Amino acid sequence: MTGDAARIRRQNKLGKGLFLLFFIGPALLIYAVYNIYPIFATFYYSLFDWTGIQTAKTFLGLENYANLMQDRVFFRSLGNNVLLVFASVFTQIPLGLALALLLQSKIKGMRFFRTVYFLPFLMSTVAIAILWMFIYNPTFGVLNELLADLGLQSLQRSWLGEKSTAMGAVIATICWQFVPFYMILLRAGLAGIPEELLEAARIDGCTAWKTFTRIKLPLLMPTIVTSATLSTIGSLKYFDLIFVMTEGGPDSATELMATYMYKQAFRFFSMGYASAISSCMFILAFIAAVAILSLDRLRSRGGY
Amino acid sequence: MTAMKKWVMILVSALLVFSLAACGGGATNSGSSQGSSSSSSSSSSSDSGSQAVSSGEKKKLTVWYIDTGKRKELIEETVQEFMKAHPDVEVVAEQIANDTYKTKLPVAMGGNNPPDIFHSWGGGWLKAFVDAGQVMDVTGKIDADSYLPAALNLATFDGKLYGAPLAMSLTLFFYNKEIFAQYGLEPPKTYDDLLNIIDTLNANGVAPISMANKTKWPGALWLIYLANRVGGSDIFNAAFERRGGTFDDPAYIKVGEMIQELVDRNAFVTGFNGLDYDTGQSRQFLYTGKAAMELQTSGYLTVVRSEMPDFEDKMGIFGFPAIEGGLGKATDLVGGVSPVFSISSQTKYPDEAVELLKALTSKELAQKYVDHAGVVVAVKDVQYNDPFAVQMKELLEQSDFLQPFYDQTLPPEMAELHKDTTQALFGKSMTPEEAARQMEEAAQRMLGN
């Protein structure tokens, strides 16, 4: 009897497993073909001297990686990526949170502002890049005109044309683009906080600031961690906006790992070396993601 | 419970292994077909065979080109006529945006799925594909005598011809005649004249020269011309072919200094290193009368005509002036060829492809290019009527030397370095000595001593 029951239970489970696989299968297959396989293929190609336009490859072992470790441009681009990570995490998320909190308050016309604030995220990256190129234009651009109107001619710059200002100008644009995304994410998080908790806090005479630091912020932590992970990984892989706005220039001032990889692959025809760069990007993004998630685990064990 | 999980795990991983194996299989297949195609071209990839079947019994040829606007229409017209004359051939001509094309073709070549006929600019970019065995040798298959030798040179490697040229581009000054008239200026004959013009315009609050150097090649045009005028016609080729010349020649250092002197003289518009040529940020200065001239390729004319037709009446052209004491001739021109059409070595129908190549670089099409697109062409015996084209053709006829754009001649990595160092020279973030040293170092590494 018990054997039968166990068998039936097992069969049920098996059926359920197959049933699940039926649903996951197609997506998993596509994921494997278009994501997992290319990752391993990239590692494989990074071991070769290969132009990408011919079939002949020369096996180099780890020589591409050894060269990479002595490549000044690579380290400059890595530095720019790190800068972008910090700028993104420490401006996009706080600003997104501030906007999310603002949008929660009951002011007239809030729905209008909500739409306006979300607009940048709806625009295509290339359109944003071109828009901001016109804003930064040293002669015709809005930014320099504005500075002139305020009598601040001394602050006028050719924003994208000078090594010292180009990276900052590009980072500002990237933040403008992504703040709305975190705003929506965090707004959803805020909406998920039970009303009773906030009501109880109100009854207990909790100030707005204390409600924020003691209730909203801790309960938002999982969302913030997700945002930080997304932001970090996104910044490490960032490519499109920079490529359109500056092509990594002037004089490599805004070069990122991804733009450098593109140049190696499609301008210099060193596909092997480019694969080594993208492998490094993968490893770095992976380490960053694991680090953030394990910090988060520590945090939740600590009970804060 | 755990047993079930195990089952699912096994199935899932089996699926994974299967999918990986499928990919691996695909990869080895294409590898082996490539191996055999190198020994005999007829047995090339099997998948293009199935393409031919699916499109009926017709022989299918694909063409990739980048010409836009009127030039695109003319190419399409030629393709239609070719199909009428060759009912057994189907031609699929695909127009691809310039920057996309530079990525798309290498990927197609690497993936063993190249177009039968493809665009290039000749020079180093084409040579990379020639070296990879991807381009068909057309020596003797097309009539070399019907093209200008200067243009044909860019598609000739080791004495073999790997393509045929259609249109050419020359680098010239485009200037605002009204502004020049207003301040009593004449197109400069010498470099000192040019410097005087720059000073006069600056004194009157007009930016002398517009330039959008984000993409780096517009600034490189200056370096190429100055090097030619200072160091003579052979300066680049002597260094590139490694016969006595170097890229850290004193002439190149002098040119770097001259560029930085021009920048110090406020010869260029503010922030030129961040301006984008493709979105018109340099032309904006000329259209609005805020700048007086721009050194650009002859494609400028086509762009002005579609973008700001009114400006054409005010616009004039002149060649790069002579430099006193320099070794170069004032008649030398900096230019290039675009398009050069080449045939892929993997084409299934080499004979038809050669016929199509001839049609795409024919005198008839060249004549239409001249009449409707206002360009100079690389094909001989063509009549010029467009006033700008006539002037360009005269400059071309006076000239016995055409210096190709460096970035189309150098191997890709050096081409990039050349543009990077030139942009840095313009931005004054690199000294002329350092720029020359980096170029020569790369040359020794890539071109030999």
Give which of B112, B129, B273, B418 to mutate to test A binding, by max A Cβ within 10 Å: B273
Give the three-class secondary structure for B316.
Answer: strand
Place of tokens 């109100």: A202
- Say what the pLDDT of residue B13 is: 53
| Boundaries of every domain in chain B | 46-166+339-361, 171-334+403-446
**Nearest chain B Cα distance for residue A168, angstroms:** 13
Q: What is the Cα–Cα distance from A191 to A103, expressed in whole angstroms?
A: 11
Task: Give residue-wise pLDDT tens across range B337-377.
Answer: 889 999 999 999 999 999 999 999 999 999 998 888 778 89
Record: contact B272-A53, CB cut-off 8 A: no
Q: Which residues of A touch B2 (CB under 8 A)?
A: none
CATH code linked to domain B171-334+403-446: 3.40.190.10
- 218-247 in chain A: CB under 8 A from chain B: 246-247
Comparing C-alpha atoms, which of B313, B375, B406 is closest to residue B68?
B375
Record: contact A251-B276, CB cut-off 8 A: no
Question: Do B298 and B172 meet the contact criterion of CB atoms below 8 Å apart?
Answer: yes
Which one-letter DSSP state was computed for residue B189? S
Mean pLDDT of B106-125: 89
- Interchain contact A110–B (C-beta under 8 A): no
Q: Is the pLDDT of residue B437 over 50?
A: yes
Q: Which contiguous run of DSSP H or E holds residue A102?
A: helix A93-104
- Say what the pLDDT of residue A22 is: 86
Strand-pair category, B59-65 with B89-95: parallel
Q: What is the Cα–Cα distance from B395 to B159, expressed in whole angstroms?
A: 28
Comparing C-alpha atoms, which of B218, B388, B186 is closest to residue B295?
B218
Mean pLDDT of B302-311: 88
| Boundaries of every domain in chain A | 2-38, 63-302
Q: Which amino acid does the sequence have at B363?
A: K
**Nearest chain B Cα distance for residue A163, angstroms:** 8
- Interchain contact A8–B (C-beta under 8 A): no
What is the percent of chain B where pLDDT is above 70?
Answer: 88
- Say what the pLDDT of residue B412 is: 81
**Nearest chain B Cα distance for residue A284, angstroms:** 25
Q: Is the pLDDT of residue B44 over 80?
A: no
Q: Is the pLDDT of residue B393 over 90?
A: no
Topology at the third CATH level for domain A63-302: MetI-like fold (1.10.3720)
Which tokens belong to A191? 């909406």
Q: Which residues of A touch B207 (CB under 8 A)?
A: 139
- Interchain contact A67–B (C-beta under 8 A): no
Residue A61 CB coordination number (10 Å)? 9
Mean pLDDT of B285-301: 93
Which tokens belong to A237? 């892989």
Comparing C-alpha atoms, which of B366, B402, B398, B362 is closest to residue B384?
B366
Q: What is the Cα–Cα distance from A30 to A28, expressed in whole angstroms?
A: 5
Q: What is the Cα–Cα distance from B375 to B383, expressed in whole angstroms?
A: 12
- Interchain contact B129–A (C-beta under 8 A): yes
Q: Is the pLDDT of residue B99 over 80?
A: no
Which tokens belong to B1? 């419970």
- Say what the pLDDT of residue A2 is: 59
Which of B15-24, B118-127, B168-177, B408-417: highest mean pLDDT? B168-177
Q: Is the pLDDT of residue B38 over 50?
A: no
Give which of A53, A133, A263 to mutate to test B binding, by max B Cβ within 10 Å: A53
Q: Which residues of A touch B283 (CB under 8 A)?
A: none
The strand ranges marked E within B312-428 are 315-318, 333-337, 340-343, 376-377, 402-404
At residue A152's C-alpha, the angle toward residues A148 and A154, to 5°, is: 105
- Say what the pLDDT of residue B36 is: 36
Q: Which of A28, A55, A158 sits opposite B12 (nearest CB)?
A: A28
Which residue in chain A has the smallest CA separation from B418?
Answer: A251
- Interchain contact B271–A (C-beta under 8 A): yes
Q: Is the pLDDT of residue B22 over 60?
A: no
Q: What is the Cα–Cα distance from A268 to B416, expressed in whole angstroms?
A: 8
Which tokens belong to A18? 């197959």
Alpha-helix residue ranges (DSSP H) falling in B204-249: 217-231, 235-240
Q: Which residues of B touch A250 (CB under 8 A)?
A: 214, 273-274, 423-424, 427, 429
Write down the architecture of domain B46-166+339-361 according to CATH.
3-Layer(aba) Sandwich (3.40)
- 394-423 in chain B: CB under 8 A from chain A: 412-413, 415-416, 420, 423
Which tokens belong to B228? 């030619």
A140-145 own/partner pairs: CB under 8 Å, 24+ apart: A140/B284
Per-residue confidence band for B409, with pLDDT thresholds at 50, 70 and 90: confident
Record: contact B134-A51, CB cut-off 8 A: no
pLDDT in tens, chain A (304 residues): 556 777 777 777 778 888 888 888 889 999 999 999 999 999 999 999 988 877 788 898 899 999 999 998 899 999 999 999 999 999 999 999 999 988 887 778 888 888 888 888 889 999 999 999 999 998 888 999 999 999 888 888 889 988 899 999 999 999 999 999 999 999 999 998 998 988 898 898 888 888 888 889 999 998 999 899 999 999 999 999 999 999 887 888 999 999 999 989 888 888 999 999 999 999 999 999 899 888 888 887 765 5
Per-residue confidence band for B46, with pLDDT thresholds at 50, 70 and 90: very low
Question: What is the number of alpha carbons within 13 Å of residue B414 lying toward its C-beta?
Answer: 26
Q: Is the pLDDT of residue B16 over 60?
A: no
- Say what the pLDDT of residue B3 is: 57
